[in-house]
Amino acid sequence: MNLQLITLEVVVTLIGATILLGSLWLPADKRRHLPLVAAAALVVLLIAHCFAMGVDTTTTLHGFGGGIVQDGFAICLKRLFLASAAFVLAMSAPFVERLRAGPGEFCALILFALVGMLFAASANDFVMLFVSVELITVTFYVLTSFQRHETRSLEAGAKYLILGGVATGLMVFGISLIFAGSGTMSLREISKLDPLPNLMLFNAGLLLVVAGLGFKIAIVPFQLWAPDVYQGSPTPVTAFLAVGSKIAGFALLMRLLRHTSRPETGFLLDALAALAAFSMIYGSLCAIWQRQLKRLMAYIGISSAGYLLIGVIAMAKGFDGTKAILFYLAAYLFAAMATFTVIGLISKEGEDERSEILNGLHKRSPGLALTLTLSIVSLAGIPPLAGFFGKFLLLQLLLEMAVNNAAYYWLLGIALACIVASLAFFFGIIRAVYWPSDVALSRATAPAAPIPTSLPLKISLAICVTGIILLGLQPDVFLDLIQETVRAFRWQ
């Protein structure tokens, strides 16, 4: 037992429990500050984890019977999770009035989901994998339907519950088949087994587990829930679902594939390459005409999952994809968080977040308009912002892979075409923000008053914008930082 491996998880659990219990004794009018308190606690924890806690990023530590591993990759991901949860809590502060069921429970649930993600970053056997996925998913069942008085929130919760249940069922069945085919639950031991006792059962199980994780990261053909659930959930929850839950799914998928990939399971990587192509095509084509902002973010998320899958395949094949994936995830985190924060600020309670609510945003709040534009431009992958460089790194990996296997040139072509196609959706948004047509303006019901933005939200938006610009203009600084963290890191 090595308790220092789970310090972050224990501390976040304690913060969550404290907030849950504290909210019971706080007077009702003080409770709306709880999200900010939780966000501040997470920021302090993140800074402490980066500078003060003496975390050694260069060694790989194992604990809890091999179930938990701490390496550079896990540490990087844990910091991303902490940052994304802090952004989400900050953006839910002005949202609290709409959450009738209580801000204390809301913050506590977000923190508990964060614990699941932190565990997912260092899960190294199938028990930890399953428990962390369930901790994330079960809290999200409640969070997606948190606005009980709104039908669409309940609808989102019900859809997520049913499809999440299916995904969990697939995953458990797959894990049992993998255990039957290999005789162990530990990823480390599976990677050392040669030959596998029963290859057929193992392959079938692996396919099912990947399908279950595919639901979490929303790749085609497991993407159908994403637009509806994203649209119906409260905006901060959508942000957490789009960023935190997706990154956790990728973390698990990468560890799983890295340990289980061997010549006999090569078919899975080919299948995943096809799914990556379909996800990119589906996401970018559906995004073109989508005018509901949260659905649009769902389609952007689906195509992003496609791009990221390229990096995952490259890693499973032994290329050094860690840097590209972590860079893309960080770029996606900043851009998505900024977009969701602005969407949450602009939309009123019970209003459908169609792009009409952006009409004339430039006149109302130039700062928010600029933030939204930058993050959408970054998501679309236009140079010189962060999103462009993330995609560039992933395509570079694809080129390296194509040297050995010409089939990957096809994937490269599809990826390039999808990047061009995804430029289309951002014109509609930029036009609504800066040059709305007179017809649209006359139909707009919102008064042209500036949108009140609290100081913590201004800070969090400023951090996002700085991140987007810095990652784009000075990618080397961040890449060196990642390199430093994952330098001595070996997959074990």
Cα–Cα distance for residue pair 433/431, rounded to 1 Å: 5
Structure tokens at 444: 């707009």
Cα–Cα distance for residue pair 99/109, rounded to 1 Å: 13
Beta bridge pairs of residue 186: 125
Which part of the chain contacts other proteins (CB under 8 A), choosing from 12-20, 335-343, 346-354, 366-374? 12-20
Which part of the chain contacts other proteins (CB under 8 A), choosing from 17-25, 38-46, 143-151, 426-434? 17-25
161 or 314: CB nearest other proteins: 161
Distances (CA, A) of 218 to 223, 250, 280, 301, 387: 4, 10, 11, 8, 19
141 or 434: CB nearest other proteins: 141
13 or 198: CB nearest other proteins: 13
Q: Is 4 in the site for other proteins (CB under 8 A)?
A: no
Decide: 140 and 113 in contact? Cβ < 8 Å: yes
Which residue from 21, 50, 441, 448 is in contact with other proteins, where contact means CB under 8 A?
21
Output the smallest distance, CB 142 to other proteins, in A: 13
Output the smallest distance, CB 17 to other proteins, in A: 5
Q: Going residue by residue from 39 to 58, which x/- string records binding to other proteins, judged by CB under 8 A?
A: --------------------
3-class DSSP assignment, residue 446: coil
Output the smallest distance, CB 216 to other proteins, in A: 24
Output the smallest distance, CB 202 to other proteins, in A: 18
Tell me 454's DSSP state.
-
H helical segments located in 183-265: 187-192, 199-217, 225-232, 235-240, 246-260
Q: Is 28 in the site for other proteins (CB under 8 A)?
A: no
Decide: 283 and 303 in contact? Cβ < 8 Å: yes
Q: Is 1 in the site for other proteins (CB under 8 A)?
A: yes
Output the smallest distance, CB 72 to other proteins, in A: 28
Beta bridge pairs of residue 382: none
Sign of CA dihedral 52, 57, 62, 68: positive
Which part of the chain contacts other proteins (CB under 8 A), choosing from 16-24, 311-319, 384-392, 440-448? 16-24
Output the smallest distance, CB 12 to other proteins, in A: 13
Output the smallest distance, CB 128 to other proteins, in A: 15
Structure tokens at 168: 């969990």
Task: Find the angle CA(307)-CA(308)-CA(309) to the nearest 5 degrees.
Answer: 90
Cα–Cα distance for residue pair 483/421, rounded to 1 Å: 32
Binding residues with other proteins: total (CB under 8 A):
6
Cα–Cα distance for residue pair 430/442, rounded to 1 Å: 18
Which part of the chain contacts other proteins (CB under 8 A), choosing from 18-26, 138-146, 192-200, 238-246? 18-26
Please list, in sequence order, all residues whose beta carbon lies within 8 angstroms of the beta carbon of residue 346, skipping any fewer than 6 positions away.
353, 357, 358, 361, 368, 451
3-class DSSP assignment, residue 94: coil
1 or 406: CB nearest other proteins: 1
Q: Is 101 in the site for other proteins (CB under 8 A)?
A: no
HSE-up of residue 299 (Cα within 13 Å, Cβ side): 22
Output the smallest distance, CB 105 to other proteins, in A: 9
Which part of the chain contacts other proteins (CB under 8 A), choosing from 15-23, 35-43, 186-194, 457-465? 15-23
Distances (CA, A) of 376 to 130, 294, 300, 303, 428: 34, 13, 10, 14, 11
Q: Is 17 in the site for other proteins (CB under 8 A)?
A: yes
Q: Is 200 in the site for other proteins (CB under 8 A)?
A: no
Output the smallest distance, CB 107 to other proteins, in A: 14
Which residue from 5, 8, 15, 20 is in contact with other proteins, where contact means CB under 8 A?
20
Other residues' Cβ atoms within 10 Å of the Cβ of residue 481: 13
Cα–Cα distance for residue pair 34/480, rounded to 1 Å: 36
Q: Is 24 in the site for other proteins (CB under 8 A)?
A: yes
Do you find a cis peptide bond into 221, omega within 30 degrees of 0? yes
65: left (phi over 0), alpha (psi -120 to 50) or beta: left
106 or 327: CB nearest other proteins: 106
Output the smallest distance, CB 154 to other proteins, in A: 15
Decide: 426 and 419 in contact? Cβ < 8 Å: no
Output the smallest distance, CB 65 to other proteins, in A: 11
Beta bridge pairs of residue 339: none
Output the smallest distance, CB 200 to other proteins, in A: 14
Q: E-strand spans in 288-335?
A: none
6 or 358: CB nearest other proteins: 6
26 or 446: CB nearest other proteins: 26
Q: Is 13 in the site for other proteins (CB under 8 A)?
A: yes
Which part of the chain contacts other proteins (CB under 8 A), choosing from 19-27, 92-100, 176-184, 243-251? 19-27
Q: Is 176 in the site for other proteins (CB under 8 A)?
A: no
Give residues in contact with other proteins (CB under 8 A): 1, 13, 17, 20-21, 24
